[in-house]
Structures are given as structure tokens and as C-alpha cells.
Amino acid sequence: MRFTRTESRPGFLGIIFRHPGVPIPCVDGSVGMKLLPFVLGLIAGSVDVIGFLGLNGLFTAHITGNLVILAAHIVVGREASLPLVISVPVFIIVLASTRLLAAGLERARIARLPVLLLLQFVLLCAFLVICLAADSGVSPNAASMIVASMLGVSAMAVQNALGRIALTGAPSTAVLTTNVTSLTMDVGEMLLGRDASRVAQARDRAKHIWPVIAGFLLGCALGAFCEASLGLSSIVLPTAFAPIALVLGVGASLSPAKALSSIKGE
């Protein structure tokens, strides 16, 4: 792969985020990239369970779960909370906005992954600040908590998007059902399959999926334990993992030889 030279001397942020070929990191590119999906799974699992326990049953990562709960409320005639009603539209809007941001980064020849990881970190920090400032008995329907819950939803929307547009070869890191299904089918193929090529493909998929599932489950366990002890202040847990993901993403942007493809040629 050839990368074009730039004559201007980049600044500090340019050194971190800019790359001549705008390479898209691959999960197989380095040890850090292999670890990143696990860390993202930790973030999603802990945010999801903390939000569910502390925000009156709101899912921040498994956003379709909110549709199920909303439908149940409508059928039985129960009033649905505002966060539950607006979570899906907010999720979709942030997904679309993230894609537009990625397009702008592409035109500016700036690597997507570290920028999107930074955005997720900022959203989680804002979520945490509101939770720390809130009284212990504050209602999930209070204005401040509605804003906080939508910040959590937005952070997970960014994470869902970056797995599709900024990281090659990674399974979804913010949902579990599809990953569990895929892993189960792939294990079955590995044990029972007779076609060597299909078995090899299943093995390759499985090695990418199981770290995400392990990270998500560990995040759920840690998040539930912390929420029982600290309440919504336990959002500090996923917020603390987010800088680790950011460092891994920055490391990938500084290692162009590990990239799979460039945006120009994708």
C-alpha cells in the first residue's frame, strides 16, 4: 500500500489523528486492536446494566429492548417514561450524525477511529458529571436525568457506529444477541462441519466474537455490583474504561502498516 506525503508539518492533534492514507484499523492489525473490542464490550455492558438499574429500566446499549418495553406499556395502558419514548429517535439521530461526522473526517483526511472514541469518552464524561451532581433520590424522569440518560444512549450510538465505519473485522460491541447466535453457530460448524474452508471461516469469526461477549458479560457483572453500591455514580466505571479504548485507537492510527485498507480504496 502506498501513502501520499504531506508537505506541511502537522500539529499535535494532527500527529494523533491525521494519517496520509486515512487507514482503517483492522482488529487483527495489532495486539491493541485485538484488545479494543473486549474493552468496548466492557463499556457497553457496564453502561447498559447501570442504566437499566438506575434509570428505571432504560437500556442505553440494547436500544431495541426499549421498543419492547414501550410496546408493553402501550398494550397494558401504562404511561411510558419520556426517556423510554425518545431513546430510539435519539439513538437514530446520533447514528446519522456520527456518519456525517465520519464523512467530514474522510474529506479532511483524518482517521475516524480515535475521533469517534474521543467523542464517546466526552459523552460518557458528561453522563457521569450529571450523575455525580444529582441527589441520590432524584427521579429518572427529572430533566437532568433525562439529559443524562440520552447522553448514555448517544455514547452507545457512537460505539455502534464506529464498529461499522471505523474498525474493520470487528463484530458489534454493544449488543449481545447477535454475537451469541453467531458464536453458537460457529462453534457448531467447528465441531460438526465437514468443509475445511467453512470451518476455518467459523473459527476466524469465533476468535473475534468471543472477546466481545466476554467483555460485555464482565461489564454487566461489574456494572451491577457497582450500581448496587454507588448508584448512578457507578457510571465512573465505563467512563474509566473509555480512555483505555481511546489510547488503543490512537495507537492504531499511528501504525499505518497495520491498517487493512484506506478510505480512498474501500
Q: List pLDDT tens digits, range 167-205.
A: 888 888 888 888 899 999 999 999 998 888 888 988 988
Measure Cα distances from 225 to 87, 156, 221 in Å.
25, 21, 6
Which of 38-52, 125-139, 249-263 has the highest mean predicted lDDT (pLDDT)?
A: 38-52
Q: What pLDDT does residue 263 have?
A: 39
Residue 89 lies in a domain: yes
- Please give the distance of CA 41 from its chain centroid, rounded to a whole number: 7
The pTM of this model reads: 0.84
Q: What pLDDT does residue 21 have?
A: 52
> Beta strands 23-25 and 259-262: pairing type?
antiparallel
Residue 14 lies in a domain: no
Residue 51 lies in a domain: yes
Nearest CA to 121 among 260, 252, 250? 250
For the packed helices 143-165 and 63-76, what is the interaxial angle rounded to 10 degrees?
Answer: 130
For the chain, what is the domain count? Answer: 1
Question: Which stretches of the chain are DSSP H helices?
Answer: 12-17, 31-54, 63-76, 82-107, 112-133, 143-165, 177-192, 196-230, 236-253
Residue 126 lies in a domain: yes
Range of the domain at 200: 39-252
Q: Are 26 and 168 in contact (CB under 8 A)?
A: yes
Q: What pLDDT does residue 260 have?
A: 46
Q: Residue 162 corresponds to which amino acid?
A: L
Average pLDDT over residues 87-115: 93
Backbone phi, psi, residue 26, to 5°: -110, 145
Length of the chain, in residues: 266
Residue 34 lies in a domain: no
9 has which bridge partners? none
Q: Angle 154-163-69 (CA atoms, 0-180°, nearest 5)?
A: 45
Q: What CATH code is carried by the domain that includes residue 186?
A: 1.20.1250
- Average pLDDT in the chain: 84
Residue 155 lies in a domain: yes
- End-to-end CA separation in angstroms for the chain: 13
- Percent pLDDT > 90 in the chain is 49
Per-residue pLDDT at 29 exceeds 80: no
Residue 11 lies in a domain: no
Residue 24 lies in a domain: no
